Chains A and B, each alone.
Chain A
Amino acid sequence: RKEVEQDPGPFNVPEGATVAFNCTYSNSASQSFFWYRQDCRKEPKLLMSVYSSGNEDGRFTAQLNRASQYISLLIRDSKLSDSATYLCVVPPLGGSQGNLIFGKGTKLSVKP
Chain B
Amino acid sequence: KQEVTQIPAALSVPEGENLVLNCSFTDSAIYNLQWFRQDPGKGLTSLLLIQSSQREQTSGRLNASLDKSSGRSTLYIAASQPGDSATYLCAVWGTYKYIFGTGTRLKVLA
A associates with B: no
